[in-house]
Amino acid sequence: MSEKFYITSPLYYVNDLPHIGSAYTTICCDCIARYKRLRKYDVCFLTGTDEHGQKIFKAAQAKNMLAQEHCDHISKKFEELWRLLNIHFDKFSRTTSKNHEKIVEDFFNRVYKNGDIYEANYEGLYCEACEDFKAEKDLLEGLICPIHKQKAQDYKEKNYFFALSKYQDKLVKYFDENPDFIQPSFRKNEVLGWIKEGLKDFPISRRSVSWGIPLPCDKTQTIYVWFDALVGYLSGLLNENEEVKLDTTLQNYWPCNVHIIGKDILRFHAVYWPCMLMSAQLPLPKKVFGHGFLTKDGEKMGKTTGNIIDPYELINEFGTDAVRFYFLREMCFGKDGDYTKESFINRVNSDLANNLGNLLNRTINLVHKNFNGIVENTNSNFLELKEKMEITIKEYENHMEKLELKEATDIVWQLIGNTNKAFNDKEPWKLIKNNDLTKAKYCLYETLEVLRNLSILIYPFIPETSLKIYYQLGLNTLDSNNEWDKLGFEKVNACFKVREASIIFPRLDTKSIKI
């Protein structure tokens, strides 16, 4: 039986349409999930939407829509964009589903019975945009939220609290015993800094918010949106026709191998969520990975400034694989990254059109023109690319296991560069002209064999392009669940019968680019 691998994106807040930030996170998740499928893991990739809270209720009111109607509309937009980006998710979790509500109630009752929920008065500051309670020291001058640039509101209400402070020592011990729990490693210091300040119990209900799941022990209050949403990683695992119980979800893929999130919600996933699970006496996720923010032209993106990247416009202008490739190749996963039109054009033209596309085109055209589309291994001794390819596969695997996505593409494009150099140095067109057909055939065979391996390695990043290369090489459809074993020299056959060459990535005309 295949080893299970459960990966999640955040459950995205449906106060507005999906943006490039949420698209970036989900592309990264999809890349990791596709890699794991190549490695024969039984993968479950869950994404979805977080649909409760005052901010969503107000967003619906502003559009003269019912809250559920608004949630249905925006949630559908997320699913549509993910499909446009060729994101292959297995589960889509929605926090307004009836199943989710039942699982949340089950989870709440476990925590309640464990004595970790109590009623008390809360008085403090609350950022509605974050849906989070704030300490004054975490805000800018004038009590402005540093993330959303909105003033935090005075909040006073009698609520139910979760005894977070009770789990401070247990959480630190868990971090000590699981040093890779928070990734990248530099984010761990940030989390430990919060803990050293002392974890404080936090409200998990709201009396003043109607759009939410009623509290099982007090129907006059609704469950705080984060206590509700995090449980979506469990409720979303339910299969059709399964009994709607928390124990049922745990039998599927839990615990999660990795939650991929933006660094702005690290506290919820690395502090609140583990403590909530400890209280419910459930297994903790194995890893939380907090990536950086995207900027455009060196500046923070925002609708108010007009400095935004519309993912739909990017896809329409450049195509799905170009968009996926740019963000996976240009951005160092885990750190902040900056989009510029110039860097986008350079990546597509240099890496995809020139280095990869031209290599494929030149090789296949020579095979068609001179060998009727068929070339086989002539058992020559040109083995330098074989050795480089084997090293690349090992280093690629090492980077992917560490979630070093950019570094994995770096090593792949080094091999592409080496293959281009070897091709140019050997000059197969001259070998053919001089009737040295044995050497010419081997050069072409060797190049095609590297391209076959490359098509597998790039599959998690640019799957459409991977399949196009595979097709032009004369191979059958790439089996995304059984292809890793075919990596290596002569792992398929010793002969290629290639199809007609076609351009996989045309060069971008800098003058016609709008975005």
The answer to whether residue 441 is domain-embedded is yes
pLDDT at 64 over 80: yes
**Whole-model pTM?**
0.94
Please give the average per-residue pLDDT across 376-384, as a whole number: 70
pLDDT tens figures, 298-350: 888 766 566 788 999 999 999 999 999 999 999 999 999 999 989 999 999 99
pLDDT at 382 over 60: no
The answer to whether residue 429 is domain-embedded is yes
CATH number of the structural domain spanning residue 352: 1.10.730.10
Cα angle 323, 326, 332 (rounded to 5 degrees) comes to: 135
Return d(Cα 443, Cα 445) in angstroms, integer. Answer: 6
- Give whole-number Cα distances, 183 to 155, 252, 402, in Å: 33, 25, 9
**SS3 assignment, position 258:** strand
The answer to whether residue 450 is domain-embedded is yes
pLDDT tens figures, 445-499: 999 999 999 999 999 999 999 999 999 999 987 877 778 999 988 777 778 999 9
The answer to whether residue 476 is domain-embedded is yes
Least confident range from 16-20, 128-132, 137-141, 211-215: namely 128-132
pLDDT at 443 over 80: yes
With a CB cutoff of 8 Å and minimum separation 6, the contacts of 79 are: 92
The answer to whether residue 271 is domain-embedded is no
Under DSSP, the state recorded for 140 is B
Residue of 445, 439, 488, 496 lying closest to 470 (CA atoms): 496
Structure tokens at 412: 């792949």
- Contact status, residue 351 vs residue 428, Cβ threshold 8 Å: no
Percent of the chain with pLDDT over 70: 95
With a CB cutoff of 8 Å and minimum separation 6, the contacts of 182 are: 175, 188, 191, 266, 270, 287, 288, 290
The answer to whether residue 17 is domain-embedded is no
Return d(Cα 468, Cα 490) in angstroms, integer. Answer: 20
The answer to whether residue 46 is domain-embedded is no
Structure tokens at 93: 């979790």
The answer to whether residue 404 is domain-embedded is yes
Return d(Cα 71, Cα 83) in angstroms, integer. Answer: 19
Under the banding of pLDDT at 50, 70 and 90, the label for residue 154 is confident
Angle subtended by helix axes 384-401 and 437-457, to nearest 10: 0
Name the domain count of the chain: 1
Q: Give the chain's mean pLDDT.
A: 92
Return d(Cα 28, Cα 328) in angstroms, integer. Answer: 7
Angle subtended by helix axes 54-62 and 67-84, to nearest 10: 90
Least confident range from 119-133, 160-174, 425-439, 474-488: namely 119-133
Residue of 439, 139, 114 lying closest to 277 (CA atoms): 114
Amino acid at site 35: Y
Under DSSP, the state recorded for 243 is -
Q: Domain span at residue 400?
A: 341-497
Q: Where are the alpha helices (DSSP H) in 119-217?
A: 168-177, 186-196
Please give the average per-residue pLDDT across 185-211, as a whole number: 91
